Structure 1
Amino acid sequence: MSGTPRTEKLRPGWKPGQSGNPKGRPKGRRNRVTIVALAAMEEGADAIARKVVDMAKEGDMSAARLVLERLVPPAKERPIFLALPDTSTTDGIADAQRAILQAVAAGDLLPGEAATMAGIVEARRKAVETLELEQRITALEIKK
C-alpha cells in the first residue's frame, strides 16, 4: 500500500471531507425508487380499484370495509347541540356539568364528547373563580 489515502485514489480532484455535491439534493425531489413505485401504482390503480369493488359486491367483507372507509371516512368530530344554562355563576356552572352528565346518561352525547364539553365548562369555572377572587381582593384592599 502506498502512503496516499484511499479517497484520493478514488476521487483525485477532491480533498478529504469535500462533498461532490455541496448543495445536496434539491428540495422536493423524490427518490428514484419512489418515482418508479408511484408510476407502477398509477398504471394499475384503476384495475385494482375495480377488482376491490367487484370483490365487495360479491360479499368480501374486507373489501367492502376498504371501499367504505375510502368513500366515507370515519368522522373525527361532530357538532354537538346541547342547551347549557348560563355559566356566569358557580351555580350555573354546576348546572351545566349536570346537563352534560344527563346527556351522556341519555345517550345524546358520547363519553369523549362529554369530556370535551366538561373541559370547556371547567375552563369557564376557572375564569369565573379568578374573576370572583379578583373582585374580593379589590374589595378588601379598598376597605383598608
Structure 2
Amino acid sequence: MTEQKKKRAPKWQKGQSGNPAGRPKGIPNPQARLRKLIDVEAIIAKLQENAIKGNTRAAELLLERALPPLRSVAEPVELPGLSDAATLTAKAECIVSLTAEGKLSPDVATAMLSAIGQLAKATEIDELTRRLEALEKAHGQDN
C-alpha cells in the first residue's frame, strides 16, 4: 500500500544559488547594521548612572542582564527512618511525615517524592520486562 516516493532531480546544480536575485555577498543584513550603530558601552554607562541615582528599573535591567538568576540549592539531608522503609510507598509515607513534622522542607520533599515516582516507573518497567520474557520463554518464543 505504501509506495516509495520518486526522487526529484534538484532544480539547480551544487554551488548554484537557489535565489540568484537575492542579497549580494558582503551586504550585511539590517539587524547587523543596527547592531553596529548601537553604542552598547554608552547605554550600559547611562543605565549604571541612572541606577546609582535611584532608578530601580535601570538597576533591574542591569542586574537581570549581568547576573544569572539565583537558584535554591538544597543541602544534603539525613532522613531518619527512610532507609528502614521496605517499600517505595513506605519511603514516600516517611517523607510526607517528616515534612509534616517540619524536619524536611516542602521543596526537598517534593523533589524526593518525584524521584521515588520515577524510581517506581523504572521498577514497573523492569518487572513488566521480566514477566514478558518469562511468558515468551514459557511459550517457546525466544528472541
User: Normalising by the residue count of structure 2, what TM-score does the alignment of the two structures yield?
Assistant: 0.52
C-alpha separation in 2, matches of 1:64 and 1:108: 36
Q: Runs of 5+ in structure 2 lacking a partner? A: 1-10, 135-143
1:99 corresponds to: 95
C-alpha contact (below 8 Å) 1:52/1:63 kept by paired residues: yes
User: Normalising by the residue count of structure 1, what TM-score does the alignment of the two structures yield?
Assistant: 0.52
Cα 1:40/1:116, change in 2 over 3 Å = farther
C-alpha separation in 2, matches of 1:49 and 1:103: 46
C-alpha separation in 1, matches of 2:95 and 2:110: 13
Matched residue count: 113
Please list, as runs of the form range in 1=range in 2, the aligned pairs for 1:1-144 lying within 5 A after superposition: 21-22=17-18, 32-41=29-38, 44-75=39-70, 78-84=73-79, 85-86=82-83, 89-90=86-87, 94-96=90-92, 98-99=94-95, 102-103=98-99, 106=102, 109=105, 111=107, 114-128=109-123
Q: Which amino acid aligns with 1:82?
A: V
C-alpha separation in 1, matches of 2:127 and 2:34: 63
Q: Runs of 5+ in structure 1 lacking a partner? A: 1-16, 139-144
Larger RCO (alpha carbons 8 Å, 6+ apart): 1
Q: Between the two proteins, what is the percent identity of the paired residues?
A: 21
1:141 corresponds to: none
Pairwise CA RMSD:
4.4
Give secondary structure in 2 for the equivalent of 1:75: coil
Question: Rg bigger for which structure?
Answer: 1
C-alpha contact (below 8 Å) 2:48/2:62 kept by paired residues: yes
C-alpha separation in 2, matches of 1:108 and 1:50: 45
C-alpha separation in 1, matches of 2:91 and 2:29: 62
Greater per-residue helix proportion: 1
C-alpha separation in 2, matches of 1:83 and 1:68: 36
Deviation at 1:81, TM superposition (A): 2.4
1:33-65: per-residue Cα shift (whole Å, max 9, x none)?
A: 011011112xx1111000001100000010111
